Amino acid sequence: MAHPIPGSDGIPTNAIVHGACESWWTGNERSHCGGCHLTLSSLSAFDRHRKGARCNDPATVGLVARQMPYGLLWGWPGPEGGMAAARGRTPA
């Protein structure tokens, strides 16, 4: 696979490319693990993945995968509506 170049091959110009594994993603909030090359949605999600100073399978530490144009993005399972939605009680 050729090295991804932002702005070509359908990769947005604002994409961030990790040359070591040729992953790319978008969003300055993202964290990418240099050990196992997972892409995580935020620093707090990255910290959870690195719990115990090792790479944990994100599914085993409470993170969920979302399919993004660039591959899987691991993050918190929070509701799309944010914390306000999380506080609301759903009637049975």
Binding residues for Zn ion, rule: CB under 5 A, are 18, 21, 23, 33, 35-37, 55
The span from the CA of 86 to the CA of 16, in Å, is: 31
The CB-of-87 to Zn ion minimum distance in angstroms stands at: 32
Question: CA angle, corner 8, sides to 17 and 72, nearest 5?
Answer: 45
The CB-of-76 to Zn ion minimum distance in angstroms stands at: 17
Q: Which two tokens stand for residue 78?
A: 């929070």
- The helix/strand/coil state of 44 is helix
Cβ proximity to Zn ion: between 57 and 88 the closer is 57
Cβ proximity to Zn ion: between 71 and 79 the closer is 71
